[in-house]
Structure 1
Amino acid sequence: MRIHHDWRGLPIEARGASVAMGNFDGVHLGHRSVIDTARAAAQAPLGVITFEPHPREFLAPDAPPFRLMNAESRANRLARLGVDHLYELPFDAVLSGFAPQDFAREVLVEGLGIRHVTVGADFCFGRQRSGDAGTLTELGRELGFGVTIAPLIGDGEVQYSSTAIRKALAEGRCRDAERMLGHWHRIDGEVLHGDKRGRDLGFPTANMAVDRLHLPAFGIYAVLVDVLTGPERGSYRGVASLGVRPMFGAGRPNLEAHIFDFSGDLYGQHLSVALVEYLRPEAKFDSLQALTEQMGRDSARARDILQGN
C-alpha cells in the first residue's frame, strides 16, 4: 500500500482510484462495508481517503482523547485489507475551509482524479459539515465521478460505530469490541525505553506510548503481539499492563507488553498489540514479591486464554 499525504502533485499512478472516504477510526465492520463497496464499484485501484489529524482533533484540540487508532495503526489495518492507495489528507485550515463543491472539484477531481467514491450514509463533509452524502451524489453527477452510499450496518441490536466500540473497551469488554471491529482492538507504535523495572522483576516488557488515544479500561490483558519491524518480526503471545503503574507512583499512562518466551531487543522497533481479554484492574501491592507473584498468575492465565490463537 502506498501512502500519500496530500492531494496535490500526485504521480499519475496514484490517480484514478475507486475510493472509500471517511475517518475510519477503528476500521470496524461498518467501515469494512464501505471499503468493500468501493472495491466492487469500479475497475480501478482501491483507495481510501481519510484525514490526519482527525477533524475533531483539529477543530476541538482541547477535547479529551477519543481516537481508537493512531495513524500508524489505521494504516496497518487498511494495508491488511488490500488497499492500494491511502490518501491521508492534511486536515488544516485550508481543507476545513473548503465548501463542499470546492472540496469535490479541487480535491476529488483535480487532485485525486477519482473514478468513484463510496461513503457511509451518515457521511458529512465541507465547511461546518455543510455537505452530506446526498450533496456528494449531486456533485458527482455534475463533475463526472460515481457515488455509492453504503448503508449503516449492525448486528440487529447495536449499530457498528466507533462510539459503541469505545464504550465496550472502556468497560473491558474486548470480545464485544472485537465483534464490532471484525478484528482485535490493537495499539500500534514504537518500543520506547522505560524504567526497566519489568526486567528486574523477571518480566521484561516492551513499552509503548498511548498518547492521544481513547484508552480502554486500565488493567492487565492477555495480548497477541505482532513485531512489525526488525530481525524479530513475527507473531507472539503475551500479557500486558495498560495504565499508570500505581505500584511505582507513575502518572502517565502507557502500555507495557511482556512477550512470552522472548529474549530479543525490540527498542526502536514497531509493534502491534492486540487486546484479547481483560484479566483484572491494575492495583498497588504491599511488596514487590506480591507484585511478582501476581504477574506470574497473570501470565499463566493469559497463556491459557491464548491457546489456539
Structure 2
Amino acid sequence: MDGDTRGLGSRVGMGLGRPTRRLVVLGGAAAALAVLVDHGLRVDVPTPPPPVPTRRRAPDELVLLAAVAGLDQVVQAEGEVLSEHQDALVRQLRTLGQEQLRALRGRLTNAGVPTAVIDAAVRRARTTPTTPAAPAGSASGQVHTPQALARLLRDSVGPNAWAPLTTATAGTRQLLAAAYGQRLAGALLLGCEVPAPRASPLRADLVARTAALVYAFQVVSAQSTGAQRRAAESSLSALSDLESSLSGSTSVSPAGWALPYPVTTPRAARRLATDTLSAAVDAAAALTRSDATATSLEDVVGWSAHLQALAVGWDLPLTAFPGASS
C-alpha cells in the first residue's frame, strides 16, 4: 500500500512538473519578446523595402529641357501657319524644327532622362511658356501668318537664352547655338529684321571675318555676269551693311586677303561665293567655345544667322544644326 502510494505520488509530481516548466519557459520568452518590442523590433509586419534612390539629373538636363519645351512651341506654331498658308519656307522650317526636336530629345533620353520628365516639361511650357527659348506671350495659338511666325522665331531666341549656354557642356552649347542661329535665319528669310546685339568680346573677330567676305564678294561680283552678277552685287550690299552694323563707327582697313584659288571665270566666282559662305557658317560653331560669354554667344549666333540667310540665295540650304559636330 505504502509502495503504491509513493509510486502514485511520484507519478503525480512528474505530471505536474512538466506544465510548470513549460510555463516558466513561455514566461521567459514573453519577457524577452517584450524587451525586443520595447527596443523597436516589430515581428508582426514584414521589413519595409529600402527607399527608392533619387534619380540624378543628367548633364545639361535643365537647359535641354527648356530648349525642347521652347522648340516644341515653335514647331506647333509652324504647323498652325501651314494649316492656313501653304508656304514652302515655313514647311522647310518646320521640318528642321522637328529634326532638332528629335536630336535634343534623343540627347536627353540617351543621358537617362525619362520620357515622362521630358513630356512633363513640354506640357508645362504649353500652358505657361516661360522657358528661355519661349518667352511668355508667345503661345503658338497666337501665330497664324508667316509674318507672325517670323516675329516668334526672332523673339523666341531672346536675351535669356544665352546665359544658360555658358554653363552647358561643349556639345550641348554648340548644338543649341547652332539651332538658335538656324531659327534666327528663318526669321530673316521670312522678312523679320534681326538687329545686331550689343558688342561682345568677339566683335572684332566677327568684323574681320565679315570684311573678308566683303572682299570675296567684290571678286565674285567682278568675275560674274548676268543674273549671277546681280545676285553677287545684292549679296555684297548685304555683307557691307552687316559689316557696318557690326563695326559701328570703327573703320575697317582693307587687308589684302588672299583668295584660296584663282577666280577668273563666272564658274570660279560662284564656287568662291559658296565656299566662303559655307566656311563662315561652319566657323560660327567653333566660336561657341567654353570661355564664350552670354553676349559673345548672342553676337556669334546673330552673325551666323545673317550669313545662313544670305547663303540660301546661293543654293546652300538651311540645316538643323549648321556647323555643329556633336
- TM-score greater than 0.5 by the shorter chain: no
Q: If the length of structure 1 is used for normalisation, what is the TM-score?
A: 0.24
The structure carrying a bigger helix percent of its residues is 2
The structure carrying a bigger strand percent of its residues is 1
Larger Rg computed on CA atoms: 2
Larger RCO (CA under 8 A, 6+ residues apart): 2
